[in-house]
Structure 1
């Protein structure tokens, strides 16, 4: 009965009452699990399921088996998802429940156990043998998370991974190579390096360009002389790669943990073959990477484009973020910046012809004052429907982004496909930071 009262207190509008109930339920431990699981499965719930799931995760081991049952058996997707979240983030001083779950017959449970051990990092070392066996799991999702968990063990897992690479079992060898790449690519055996180089050469012969999802900055230079581009940007140690691998490296570095990677975040760039006479460079040259505040970054971008355009006749910089509306472009010719535009940032130069027919980011169309009258701002569907109707009735232009400007001024990587004509080879090259600090570890798709 007391548990039921505490559950009701969790739904209270009084934050002090909520907090007291949470603390009491966590102190109760195993005794509180049945009531919390019942509330998690209740439809509709009285308490936000994320709150219930977080409390079960804090209680830890006593909630482990009940949560696995909910995750694998409950009919409501949101309930299963919350149970999965709670299993992944349990506060366990003793990791035995995760270790035992690695052999569970349901692959979803094995996956959550691997995720939990990955979060534990080096604390999971006593269970390394079981994790290594999971590298050969028949389920692809389990294998992927087992690789991540083994990678999180760090350098202490390297000897065992090298033994798997050398002597098997064969079903684990590819996953072991992936884990080694995530821990320290330098430890990969020369034989494996040679095999990867051969694979890259073979795939590059028949590879078709694919659309890229831009997130970060890239340069476009009107030249097919890749060596000149590398020299102008102080890039070295160029290694041939597939387009897919180069794209994966760019995406990986853009989303790596800045706190742990430091200068390795901008240690390499992806340089494409010539695309309709333009060479594209994805990543941050050192001059931009070391400009940390917005003002100095925009100045560095303009200076870089001006310098490169004096060498190649023109130089364009573009940038987009996959998580918000940030976008930027800088267009320079013969040593002079013609246009610089950054959403919510600096701008210089007159409107460029490539921007004609578009709204600029942040620019509002001229609409009647009552254009959105009667539309609930909290209803995104209704809001989008009204916006689409207004755009059609008032011929409102689309808002442009860097890819739109790139399409009009050089080459748009988001539209790459079998129709895209490329000549030459793709390479990954090191920046000055790459030469000094090495590159970010991680396996990349070939």
Structure 2
């Protein structure tokens, strides 16, 4: 049995894994204990990582990765102090602050580029002290985002297991208003879109990345954070598209898109690996003609399934990415040929 008089630090250094896990479990499982005791556990973990003490740093890091946002602020505060370089190194974070940001803002932006992107996004959008610091740093963040985009050539990025809206406008303020988004934090395009990269960790559920205008289209990438009225959006902006797909799971692939114009849904298509396919109101042949007739200039015709150029791995003629490329903008096809206006924003729905 564990000596209950042992400190959290002593238990975290104990050779018995069950003793260590008794300290770590309440960090990510609701054990009904008080706020203060949970913070004391987390402080002990952070102190050990900053001291590089103990033989179990991987366990400590895993425990921290599941900490709830209201407690994760303690991690940010610790990293923002001047004497925690070892803690940052233990967590695999290199803190940069070339733009004179407030310490907590600098920490969170540095975490976006590491394996802590989801936690950092949660804190930036939480409305707490870190979010307030980011608001005060907005002008500096905007300058930073512009510098990142200028230094990083625009390249395709494959967002996966997520959805996105496409609206034909370059007016980000109008888009933020239409989708009722708040907490906007300027970020570099690759930095923001990387939250939804197919090779990355799952993004926070309440995060929305609002892109610059690409060839006159603003995209809003999310994972279930938005459920907006497409017809109302299309009445306001003339058109509004929704897209989504998932390929990362390997067993539940899906694709979904809907196009609305001037207050009315025109066409939609859904496919998945289980054969739950639907499209309409056009038939298959009419849908192919409809897409090709409306495709943007300089985009290739969408090939039919029996065309030698057809290469969709699931055999879907009308997958979301291919249709988005032709009717709006696909992040998988942006590049030096793409006209860009503005910077990316990390945002969250007002109601979240």
TM-score normalised over the length of structure 2? 0.60
Q: Residue deviations 1:324-368, cap 9 Å, x none?
A: 321011122233322111112442221143374233xxxxx7xxx
Q: Residues 239 and 261 of structure 2 are in contact (CA less than 8 Å); yes or no, is this contact kept in structure 1?
A: yes
Alignment partner of 1:347 is 2:279 = yes
Q: CA RMSD in A?
A: 4.7
C-alpha distance in 2, partners of 1:308/1:241? 25
Alignment partner of 1:338 is 2:338 = no
Change (3 A) 1:319 1:198: same
Q: Residues 162 and 224 of structure 2 are in contact (CA less than 8 Å); yes or no, is this contact kept in structure 1?
A: no
Secondary structure of the corresponding residue to residue 169 of structure 2: coil
C-alpha distance in 2, partners of 1:251/1:119? 29
Q: Residues 250 and 269 of structure 1 are in contact (CA less than 8 Å); yes or no, is this contact kept in structure 2?
A: no
1:411 match: 329
C-alpha distance in 1, partners of 2:213/2:80? 37
2:48 match: 133
Deviation at 1:422, TM superposition (A): 1.3
Q: Which has the higher strand share?
A: 2
C-alpha distance in 1, partners of 2:121/2:230? 34
C-alpha distance in 2, partners of 1:346/1:427? 34
Secondary structure of the corresponding residue to residue 279 of structure 1: strand
1:212 match: 158
Secondary structure of the corresponding residue to residue 234 of structure 2: helix
1:202 alignment partner, one of 125, 141, 144 = 144
2:236 match: 311
Q: Residues 99 and 130 of structure 1 are in contact (CA less than 8 Å); yes or no, is this contact kept in structure 2?
A: no
Q: Residues 99 and 127 of structure 1 are in contact (CA less than 8 Å); yes or no, is this contact kept in structure 2?
A: no
Deviation at 1:433, TM superposition (A): 2.2
C-alpha distance in 1, partners of 2:210/2:242? 14
Secondary structure of the corresponding residue to residue 185 of structure 2: strand
2:348 alignment partner, one of 430, 442, 446 = 430
C-alpha distance in 2, partners of 1:119/1:182? 23
Q: Residue deviations 1:132-184, cap 9 Å, x none?
A: 3325769xxx9787444235455667658635533413332585955884885
2:27 alignment partner, one of 93, 98, 121 = 121
2:13 alignment partner, one of 95, 99, 103 = 99
Q: Residues 269 and 281 of structure 1 are in contact (CA less than 8 Å); yes or no, is this contact kept in structure 2?
A: yes
Q: Residue deviations 1:100-155, cap 9 Å, x none?
A: 579xxxxxx9xxx99997566368965853553325769xxx97874442354556
Change (3 A) 1:396 1:181: closer
Change (3 A) 1:326 1:95: farther
Secondary structure of the corresponding residue to residue 220 of structure 1: strand
Change (3 A) 1:340 1:268: same
Secondary structure of the corresponding residue to residue 44 of structure 2: helix
**5+ residue gaps in structure 2?**
1-7, 32-37, 92-103, 293-301
Alignment partner of 1:238 is 2:202 = no
C-alpha distance in 2, partners of 1:238/1:183? 12
C-alpha distance in 2, partners of 1:197/1:352? 46
Q: Which has the larger radius of gyration?
A: 1
C-alpha distance in 1, partners of 2:139/2:324? 32
C-alpha distance in 2, partners of 1:256/1:172? 24
C-alpha distance in 1, partners of 2:122/2:208? 21
C-alpha distance in 2, partners of 1:428/1:189? 11
Q: Residues 221 and 280 of structure 1 are in contact (CA less than 8 Å); yes or no, is this contact kept in structure 2?
A: yes
Secondary structure of the corresponding residue to residue 341 of structure 1: strand
1:274 match: 213
Change (3 A) 1:115 1:408: farther
Change (3 A) 1:98 1:203: same
Matches within 5 A, 1:288-307: 288=227, 304-307=229-232
C-alpha distance in 2, partners of 1:235/1:247? 17
Change (3 A) 1:190 1:310: closer
Deviation at 1:241, TM superposition (A): 2.0
C-alpha distance in 2, partners of 1:101/1:424? 54
C-alpha distance in 2, partners of 1:279/1:169? 40
Secondary structure of the corresponding residue to residue 230 of structure 1: helix
Secondary structure of the corresponding residue to residue 351 of structure 2: helix
